[in-house]
Structure 1
Amino acid sequence: MQRGRLVGAFVALCALLVSGCSGTENSSTPATWPPAPAGLERFYEQRIEWGSCADFGGPEDRLPPRTECAMVTVPIDYARPDGPTARLALSRLPATGDKIGSLLLNPGGPGVSGLSTVAVGHGTALAQRFDRVGFDPRGVGSSVPAIVCLTPEQADAERAEPPLENTPEGIAAAEADNHEYARRCADRSGVDLLAHVGTREVVQDMDVLRAALGDEKLTYLGYSYGTRLGSAYAEKYPGNVRALVLDGAVDSAQDPVQESLRQAAGFQGVFDAYAADCANSPDCPLGTDPAEAVARFRALVSPLAGAPAATADPRGLSYGDAITGVQQALYTDDLWDVLTQGLTELRAGNGDTLLGLADMYDGRRADGSYANIQDAFNAIRCVDDPRITDRAIVGRQDTEYRRAAPFLDDGRGTGAAPLELCAAWPVPNTSTPHRVSAPGLPTTVVVSTTEDPATPYQAGVDLADQLGAALITFRGNRHTAALVAGDQCLDAAVIDYLVELAAPEPGLTC
């Protein structure tokens, strides 16, 4: 049961050790600031107690020295501010020079921890002028309570399942699996939490964070799904925005079907680019003719549907994990050499490298435990997007997806398909697709990459149009680029905007 995710491409920005610091953020609100909504004053006016990060994050969260951590309290349901609360995990690297304010950061997902994003902009004017602040959205990572659906053993078992045929029996079995997964989420996380983990609530949390951090207006850098948070914040609080950079845009006007088909085409495009690059080597595991790459790839991975490939780990490499590992490597061309290694191993009957890539994507740790990336992704997606219950639409979507991404087509298409997980979800969706409207919003910046597999270029063009934002085009084969791709043209424009509020030149392409 594979589920795609939109996540910023800097899983391992740095490999530095945690260092604890301490301090108190005084967030007493000047009278000229935006007033706290009635009944929420205690959340907006709370004091942040910064301290050690020793109890924050997992081994995948690599926090630089000097990083401080803290918790901020928010209501689970903003309509019931006196009801149950959640605690959001924050990380901070204090500004080293003349401070402008805080730069709030989110890496995407949804469901990915944001604590390690404080490393973004290291050694630049951003580090001098801003407290760089990462956060785990409600239900995610170190925030409490956390979204939990599967035990590690159940997650391993789900990943090992062979793909089902899209026969009536296979479709019924897949839908039964979805109902069981949804039941487990409701039992372990609680329906009250599940009903309030969407973008609708997170943007309200972001405004609480703005005030608690001591900022009159929000300065924000969001990647991938983080662009949806940023655009939704702009729509709800346009007067509270100082600066927004949205990189790897999610266009909120797209419905889930449109988004999935654009993403399929995006991944196929990057697979083709990888295959063409690989073909320059006589040892390319997909051969030296890019026109044959899809067929050669299918010949490597399709047999895994019957039996996993051998690995040093007793799990072996399942078909689903092979596909996940390949897609993980296609998020950035920095991993193309690793992908070649994995496919070369698979050609020899070994799946170690691809299994490692799949573990990276799914948040599986060396000890067998999991970050809650996948469970949180599913829960957030299912309250953010309208559910599709029309079997004709689902069948057409499956057919068009296979046509758009032939390297992912397992040959089991029949014109019918299972209803997706969200059709079985125990709480209703809280957002619907719509064009973003934010009258009075100051100049913002959207970065869109020409060959982005997960959030294709056109989505950024469309979002920039809706926001009236400056669009920066980045030419590359990766998902997200600002301050993570090492491009001086792009980074200088983004930094100048965030620090000086200088809009990029019209039509800037890097």
Structure 2
Amino acid sequence: MLAPLAGCTSEQPSTPQPQSETETKGPAGPVPAGLDRFYAQPLTWSDCGPYATSDDARSLLSTKGLQCARLTVPLDYAAPQGDTITIGVLRHKASGDRIGALVLNPGGPGASGIVAAASLAGQVSSSELGQRFDLVGFDPRGIGASQPEVSCLTDQERDTERTEDLDTDGSPAGVAKQEAEAKDFAVKCAQRTEHGAAMLANIGTRDVAKDMDVLRSALGEQKLTYLGYSYGTRIGYTYAEAFPKNVRAMILDGALDPNQDETDSLVAQGAGFGVAFNQFAAWCAARPDCALGPNPAGATKAFQDLVRPLLDNPVRLNDGRELTFDDATIGAIQALYTQQLWQPLNSGLNELKSGRGTTLMALADQYNERDSSGHYTNTQDAFTAIRCVDDPRITNKTEILNAENRYDQVAPFLDDGRPNGAALDSCAFWPVPNTSEPHEPKVTGVPPVLVISTTNDPATPYEAGVNLAKAMNGALLTFEGTQHTVFLQGIPCVDQAGTDYLVNGTLPPSGKRCAGQ
């Protein structure tokens, strides 16, 4: 699932950066054989406007003090003399006694690091972190401003797909139709993405980690200081395994369990959303306008009673679209990522009672990154493309059906009430093999990392952070709350602990816990 972009703000640093500048530093740190020209490349920093790929990005990237550049990397690191691609990069310069660059990734996979860094820039500019570090975000290969981008479905095709509720039909005919669409999606990704199968074969985390080391050198950093949220934790531990001597410091917030396979990970995520829904239901029940009623124990049935009728009778909206069961539940999932969206979720469910679906559709659009013009970012296309090469494909239908049944048990509010099927997903038809698989990273020689895990994280369960901290021989900071990721999101205890670690290398004491406000 997608991680939220934290701390969006319109605050602007007082001193604008130059419109364009080229920095030539030569390679920094070790350079793998045959990659000298990439590691030694200069970065030409300029206005960020051309890097915007959505309404939100256009607004954020117009903020003064932001600079963008393109980093050139090999399409295939096994053939560095062959085709090249570019990575979009954004920075906000340190305002004080600079330590170096803090490179971040917001997760997904498929989310834009450029947008995430831009949204955080104003928030951290006057903080100790903003004084000591350049804040640097990048769009991983194939995503957002990086070129070429993964391209599978058109905007119209994505809208049409959302009207079909295909995955609620577990009948043999329904499964056959789901698999036909899954295969068609895989074919379109290969046909419509520049470099085709070669790009899809080299889109995974294995290659993103290599790109990040090129970026480290191009930024002039001997060692990498990194902040990874959600799926960004996988990028972090993959980098640490590949380049253990190149790590200065690393915060991994909202961890993916490195040992967990795809089905167990999805079921664990479902359990996380189940807990978050129960937390929402308890919050809602104390309100006189609670759409699910005053008894939290009845909230699951109340939710099902509201959304299941959409399977047969979607709600038509003023813009001509229809709110389907899938969109209503995706809207709910989006709201469960953060308590800041609980009020809109309650409002949307109250609207649904009177046959309106505007707010739930807006939440679903936010999840799917559809803007006011009807344009989608390529996040969902990239999410699938990366997932299909990051993990082995699942073709055992008994395993698939078992996972779907387990998911319904741990997240019953999302159960559509119909028998599950066992449809193969797009990864089963992917034109290239996976390039990595779940395993405990071997990180001998990596300095201690800081893992932050939230007790009621809906998307990346708390135990995943516990397991990653053990695997990385790192420190664990526990946040007691219900949201997905927490660092730099306004919790002083967490923000100070993370800042002390990044600036001074000081890890929090063993067993350190922070409570929500």
Q: TM-score, normalised by structure 2?
A: 0.95
Quote the offset at 1:117 in angstroms: 2.5
Name the counterpart of 2:440: 435
Name the counterpart of 1:147: 150
Name the counterpart of 2:55: 59
Quote the offset at 1:359 in angstroms: 0.7
Name the counterpart of 2:396: 390
Residues 8-407 of structure 1: pairs in structure 2 closer than 5 A: 8-10=3-5, 13-15=8-10, 21-29=19-27, 33-34=29-30, 36-57=31-52, 58-61=54-57, 62-63=60-61, 64-118=63-117, 119-120=119-120, 121-163=124-166, 164-189=168-193, 190-407=196-413
- In structure 2, relative to structure 1, the CA distance for the partners of 1:88 and 1:16 (3 Å cut) is farther
1:507 maps to a residue whose letter is G
Structure 1 residues 111-120 or 420-429, which shifts more?
A: 111-120
The secondary structure found in structure 2 opposite 1:60 is helix
The secondary structure found in structure 2 opposite 1:88 is strand
8 Å contact 2:103–2:135 — kept in the other structure? yes
Q: Matched residues in 1 for 2:51 and 2:7: separation?
A: 17
Q: Matched residues in 2 for 1:148 and 1:17: separation?
A: 33
1:42 maps to a residue whose letter is R
- In structure 2, relative to structure 1, the CA distance for the partners of 1:466 and 1:223 (3 Å cut) is same
Q: Matched residues in 1 for 2:79 and 2:237: separation?
A: 25
8 Å contact 2:335–2:342 — kept in the other structure? yes
Point out where structure 1 has 5 or more consecutive residues left out of the alignment. none
The secondary structure found in structure 2 opposite 1:380 is helix
The secondary structure found in structure 2 opposite 1:322 is helix
> Which consecutive segments of 4 or more residues in structure 1 shift more than 4 A?
16-20
8 Å contact 1:24–1:50 — kept in the other structure? yes
Name the counterpart of 2:485: 480
2:286 maps to a residue whose letter is N
Q: Matched residues in 1 for 2:510 and 2:268: separation?
A: 26
2:492 maps to a residue whose letter is Q
Quote the offset at 1:324 in angstroms: 0.8
8 Å contact 1:473–1:508 — kept in the other structure? yes
* TM-superposition CA deviations, 1:10-49 (whole Å, max 9, x none): 266224689773222222236xx32x11111000000000
8 Å contact 1:399–1:413 — kept in the other structure? no
Structure 1 residues 161-170 or 125-134, which shifts more?
A: 161-170
Q: Matched residues in 2 for 1:158 and 1:123: separation?
A: 44
Quote the offset at 1:498 in angstroms: 0.4
Structure 1 residues 233-242 or 418-427, which shifts more?
A: 418-427
- In structure 2, relative to structure 1, the CA distance for the partners of 1:92 and 1:245 (3 Å cut) is same
* TM-superposition CA deviations, 1:87-123 (whole Å, max 9, x none): 0001110111111111001100000111122243332
Q: Matched residues in 2 for 1:86 and 1:15: separation?
A: 32
8 Å contact 1:26–1:48 — kept in the other structure? yes
Q: Matched residues in 2 for 1:103 and 1:17: separation?
A: 19
Quote the offset at 1:143 in angstroms: 0.4
1:400 maps to a residue whose letter is R
The secondary structure found in structure 1 opposite 2:370 is coil
2:282 maps to a residue whose letter is A
Which of residues 496, 500, 503 is equivalent to 1:496?
Answer: 500
Q: What root-mean-square deviation, in Å, do the aligned CA atoms of Structure 1 and Structure 2 show?
A: 1.4
8 Å contact 1:266–1:455 — kept in the other structure? yes
* TM-superposition CA deviations, 1:404-453 (whole Å, max 9, x none): 11001101224x42122211111111111111110011011000000001
Number of aligned residue pairs: 500
Structure 1 residues 227-236 or 309-318, which shifts more?
A: 309-318
8 Å contact 1:398–1:413 — kept in the other structure? no
2:88 maps to a residue whose letter is A
Quote the offset at 1:81 in angstroms: 0.3
8 Å contact 1:25–1:214 — kept in the other structure? no
* TM-superposition CA deviations, 1:360-390 (whole Å, max 9, x none): 1111111111110100101001110111111
Q: Matched residues in 1 for 2:198 and 2:412: separation?
A: 40
8 Å contact 1:450–1:473 — kept in the other structure? yes
Structure 1 residues 404-413 or 441-450, which shifts more?
A: 404-413
2:481 maps to a residue whose letter is G
The secondary structure found in structure 1 opposite 2:68 is strand
Q: Matched residues in 1 for 2:240 and 2:360: separation?
A: 39
Q: Percent identity?
A: 49
Structure 1 residues 400-409 or 418-427, which shifts more?
A: 418-427
8 Å contact 1:9–1:478 — kept in the other structure? no
Quote the offset at 1:461 in angstroms: 0.2
8 Å contact 2:110–2:380 — kept in the other structure? yes
Name the counterpart of 1:423: 428
1:71 maps to a residue whose letter is R
Which of residues 447, 452, 456 is equivalent to 1:451?
Answer: 456
Q: Matched residues in 2 for 1:252 and 1:65: separation?
A: 38
Name the counterpart of 1:506: 510
8 Å contact 1:309–1:350 — kept in the other structure? yes
Q: Matched residues in 1 for 2:165 and 2:338: separation?
A: 27
Structure 1 residues 455-464 or 340-349, which shifts more?
A: 340-349
The secondary structure found in structure 2 opposite 1:55 is helix
